[in-house]
Chains A and B, each alone.
Chain A
Amino acid sequence: MSWITNGPLITVQVMSGLSVGMLLFLVSVGMSLIFGVTRIVNLAHGCFYMVGAYLMVTLVEIFPDQPWAFWLALLLAPLGVAILGGVIEMGLLRLIYHRDPLMQLILTFGLILVIGTLVLLAWGPDNKSVSRPDALAGSVKIFGQPFPSYYVLVLALAPMVAVALWLVFYRTRWGMLVRAATVDREMLGALGVNVAALYTQVFMFGSWLAGFGGALAAPTVAVALGMDGDVLTTAFVVVVIGGLGSFAGSFIGALLVGLLQSFGILVFPAISIVLLFALMAVVLIVRPWGLLGRPEP
């Protein structure tokens, strides 16, 4: 337990935990947002994250040796995912909003198979990697401990997204409509709001967030088939802890899970995943609908 007294190591560990948590937040807040408005639990949400990362692989390679290629790719990859989300929402989900929630779950489960195979066909079975932009390839010293510069970007960017999200939800008319839709969709429609269009926008926005998370995470992980399942599980743990449909809940849940993973690896390397599960189990016993969620109607 010598790490307990090692202040610099703990600081770095906290920071890397927060970075992981921030990436998780991007994915889980999108999942939570989509659920809050459409009442669909999008099991294909992890696929959007995966597609974001794979698009990043391809887009970065279009302009090799250009310092701005990475940033352009980071801008375009999530947009591509948002378009994919829009096509899925308008082509499929729109037809089943009135149906048994179970059928909706099964449909998004089916999408996992379809998207997973299409990614396999498009990018092949081998793992890919995205190199970090030159300016962020190294590491910075934090109290004498090395810390990857790229994680500094993640730490800086993700809270900006979080603040921007808060402003969008609580300070714009569109955000007000989204929040109204989570409370009473029928009433919103009766008041003359085009709810169908709102659903599409929300779904595309949620997909964009997952795609952005995937694109931003791409240089920190192996871009591989199966990353959709991993992130789906973790994002799911986040929203269960924080409460499905709760914006702040996703934030708190993501930071908790990120920190837990970061310290779990330090303290119990082999069973860090079990810690995650234990935290979720405790939350489920005490508050089955999550820390900041609402009880299921």
Chain B
Amino acid sequence: MAPARWLGLLIVVLAVAPLVLPPFFLQLLTEIAIVGLFATAFNLLMGFGGMVSFGHAAYFALGAYTAALLVKRAGVPLLLALPASPIVAAAGALLFGFFIVRLSHTYFAMLSLAFAQIVFTVIFKWKALTGGDDGLLDVWPPSMLKSPAAYYYFTLAIVGLSILALRAIVDSPFGYALKAVRENPRRARYIGIDVRRHQLAAFVISGAFSGVAGGLFAFYNGSVFPDFAYFTKSFEPLVVALLGGVQSFFGPLAGAFGFKLLEWMISRQWPVYWPLFLGTIVVLVIVLLPSGFVGLVGGRRWPARPASKA
């Protein structure tokens, strides 16, 4: 079947899901969509920009807290609070990214992690604004969107639009320049591409859409906590993207589906053991599968890939 027909089928299935699925599974699907957007935004950096952030939870949390604070502390309605999420997340990504993109590989990953820990610490310590450890509770959407089905459609619409926007960015001249930077920064520089500016732009875009995911998650969850910025949260899009395949644009969405389903099955039984389980899987897969997760799913080895087609 052609991809377009798969996509059509998927849209139909997602559209009729609320008619057949109980509310719990609708919530799970909502969460999958949010995590899928988070991982797709993350993968703009990793898969297409060749930059691995270990601190993307920072931008997710900035988005979530922005939306929650506007609704809770300023009484702003959801439809105005949600657009602020990507703006604040993008501002944070611009500030941190300015420093982070100056470094490469290992240093890049570590500096992004350090900035995320700073965001976590600020959220954790600034009790007067953020509620510290207690988080912000009762961050619910207005009654119109309160039912699981309504919020599911709402999330699906926002995530769908965001994914389309990200897809357009990947396919744009900017996207191709980004891939050129990933493949060979030096050669990209020779042909006149401003490497750092492209990397920073990708970082900001990725942060902004992570912020959208964070904002959506705040209302889905009904509350926000400092954990959103913690480094274990940064691990989530990384594992999801690796699970689904970093070379394909839609890989992280598929990865989110598998990951969340697995998480639900494990944490339903043993909530405490989920990080242990996840950590063990990651360690074992890296040690036992030389080509990484992707070898398990896609068969192609990362980072070797044709540069012409995403």
Whether, in the assembled complex, B77 has its beta carbon less than 8 Å from a beta carbon of chain A, the answer is no
A113 touches B282 (CB 8 A): yes
Bound CA span A59–B113, Å: 33
Q: Mark A13-48, 1 if CB is under 8 A from B, else 0.
A: 000000000000000000000000000010100000
B282 touches A103 (CB 8 A): no
A118 touches B276 (CB 8 A): yes
Bound CA span A284–B98, Å: 11
Which residue in A107, A120, A233, A284 is a CB contact (below 8 Å) of B283? A107
**Which residues does chain A contribute within 8 Å of B281, judged by CB atoms?**
110
Whether, in the assembled complex, B126 has its beta carbon less than 8 Å from a beta carbon of chain A, the answer is yes
Interface of chain A: mostly helix, strand, loop or mixed: helix
Which residue in B104, B122, B275 is a CB contact (below 8 Å) of A113? B275
**Which residues does chain A contribute within 8 Å of B272, judged by CB atoms?**
117, 120-121
Question: Which of A91-99, A145-153, A174-182, A195-203 faces chain B?
Answer: A91-99
Which residue in A100, A109, A240 is a CB contact (below 8 Å) of B114? A240
Contacts A107-B282, A113-B232, A284-B111; is A232 near B117 (CB within 8 Å)? yes
A296 touches B273 (CB 8 A): no
Whether, in the assembled complex, B174 has its beta carbon less than 8 Å from a beta carbon of chain A, the answer is no
Contacts A101-B105, A112-B279, A113-B278; is A270 near B126 (CB within 8 Å)? yes
Q: Kindly report which residue of chain A lies nearest to residue B100, judged by CB atoms.
A: A284
Whether, in the assembled complex, A281 has its beta carbon less than 8 Å from a beta carbon of chain B, the answer is yes
Q: Kindly report which residue of chain B lies nearest to residue A109, judged by CB atoms.
A: B235
Which residue in A41, A117, A232, A276 is a CB contact (below 8 Å) of B276? A117
Contacts A106-B282, A273-B125; is A236 near B276 (CB within 8 Å)? no
Whether, in the assembled complex, A8 has its beta carbon less than 8 Å from a beta carbon of chain B, the answer is no
Interface residues of B in 41-68 (CB under 8 A from A): 52, 54
* Chain A nearest Cβ from B208, distance in angstroms: 21
A117 touches B109 (CB 8 A): no
* Chain A nearest Cβ from B266, distance in angstroms: 12
Interface residues of B in 225-242 (CB under 8 A from A): 230-232, 235, 238, 242
**Which residues does chain B contribute within 8 Å of A99, judged by CB atoms?**
286, 290
Query: How many A residues touch B, CB cutoff 8 Å?
Result: 43
Bound CA span A195–B242, Å: 32
Interface of chain B: mostly helix, strand, loop or mixed: helix
Which residue in B114, B117, B126, B238 is a CB contact (below 8 Å) of A106? B238
What are 10 sample pairs from A and B whose C-beta atoms fall under 8 A apart? A41-B109, A100-B303, A111-B283, A114-B276, A117-B275, A232-B117, A244-B107, A273-B118, A274-B122, A296-B107
B99 touches A233 (CB 8 A): no
List residues of chain B with CB under 8 Å of any chain A CB.
Answer: 52, 54, 99, 102-107, 109-111, 113-115, 117-118, 120-122, 125-126, 230-232, 235, 238, 242, 272-273, 275-276, 278-283, 286-287, 290, 292, 303
Whether, in the assembled complex, A102 has its beta carbon less than 8 Å from a beta carbon of chain B, the answer is yes
B114 touches A233 (CB 8 A): yes
Bound CA span A121–B52, Å: 31
Whether, in the assembled complex, A285 has its beta carbon less than 8 Å from a beta carbon of chain B, the answer is yes
A113 touches B235 (CB 8 A): yes
B103 touches A102 (CB 8 A): no
Bound CA span A95–B117, Å: 29
Whether, in the assembled complex, A277 has its beta carbon less than 8 Å from a beta carbon of chain B, the answer is yes
Which residue in B110, B280, B303 is a CB contact (below 8 Å) of A110? B280
Contacts A106-B286, A232-B117, A273-B121; is A113 near B279 (CB within 8 Å)? yes
Bound CA span A296–B282, Å: 27
**Which residues does chain B contribute within 8 Å of A106, judged by CB atoms?**
238, 242, 282, 286
Contacts A233-B117, A288-B102; is A107 near B278 (CB within 8 Å)? no
**Which residues does chain A contribute within 8 Å of B107, judged by CB atoms?**
240, 244, 288, 296
**Which residues does chain B contribute within 8 Å of A120, judged by CB atoms?**
272
